[in-house]
Amino acid sequence: MNVQEAMGFVTKMAEASDSLFGSVLDPMERISETLFGLIMALTFICSLGIATGANINLQTMLIGALGCNLAWGIVDGGLYLLGRINSRGEKIRTLHAVRRAPDSETARRVIAGTLAPELVAFLSAQQLELMRQKLRQLPEPSHGPGLTKRDWIGALGLCLLSFLSTFPVVIPFLFLSDARVALRASYAVAIVMLFCCGYVFGIQSGLRPWAAGLAMVAVGGALVGVAVALGG
């Protein structure tokens, strides 16, 4: 897989995830989960390659890498759902704090504390007061924080991204009979994929794409090295 092919694969994954989960997961969530899955798969393959030496079992490598990322994809999906519950709970607590504030000034401070400092700097006391009045007019939440269909779709999206990001790394083990050659090819694919993810990250973040891609290769390689050194 050359750079152009890898870029094409990443682009197709981005387009597919955008059409399926773009309205639920933001670009950084999708990029981060893809990177996480890629680094997890590479860590597993590196650890197993070091542990087994020349006696690499292709089936073990394949099943292990896919199973590892599927398991962590499920974990990430669960953590995403917990995060959504916590986010809604914080909003409900903020609403209660505004309504139960002893005076308007205290309520405005509560509202300001939930906003970004850069935004608060441009808001006047009158605008914060208008927010306070609008919040007091909202109906009382009928139930505690829960989960919606969008939340479950987002969790599924994270799980799939973590799982699917494994495939480019394990493809060499499907087509190459020599385990050592397949292992080196897998490393090469992972490096290219790390660069492509960094390139997309650079575009999304307003950084120089090529510099971001090279930095991602360095950071990803360092993270894998640390994980392998600590036992995988």
- Give residue-wise pLDDT tens across range 146-190: 888 889 998 998 888 888 888 888 888 888 777 778 778 888 888
Contact 162, 37 (CB under 8 A): yes
Side chain identity at residue 148, one-letter code: T
Question: What's the half-sphere exposure (Cβ side, CA atoms, 13 Å) at 181?
Answer: 5
Q: For 231, left (φ over 0), alpha (ψ -120 to 50), or beta?
A: left
Could you tell me which of 68, 65, 47, 74 has the C-alpha nearest to residue 174?
A: 65
**Helix runs in 143-178, H state only:** 149-164, 167-175
Contact assessment for residue 199 and residue 7, using Cβ atoms and an 8 Å cutoff: yes
d(C-alpha 163, C-alpha 17), whole Å: 13
Tell me the CA distances in angstroms from 178 to 7, 67, 189, 190, 229, one per residue in order: 26, 22, 16, 18, 25
Judge whether 62 and 48 are in contact, CB under 8 Å: no
Say what the pLDDT of residue 3 is: 47
What's the chain's average pLDDT? 80
Pair 187, 60: CB distance under 8 Å: no
What is the per-residue pLDDT across 82-127, written as a single tens digit (0 to 9) for each?
999 998 888 888 888 888 888 888 888 888 888 888 888 888 888 8
Q: 215: closest CA among 197, 189, 227, 228?
A: 197
> Is residue 201 predicted with pLDDT exceeding 70?
yes
CB atoms under 10 Å from CB of 53, counted, come to: 8
Q: pTM above the 0.75 mark? A: no
Instruction: Domain ranges for the chain, please list them.
Output: 3-73+149-229, 84-137
Strands (E) in 35-151, as ranges, are none
**Dmax over Cα atoms in the chain, in whole Å?**
74
List the one residue out of 167, 192, 232, 224 whose CA is nearest residue 39: 224
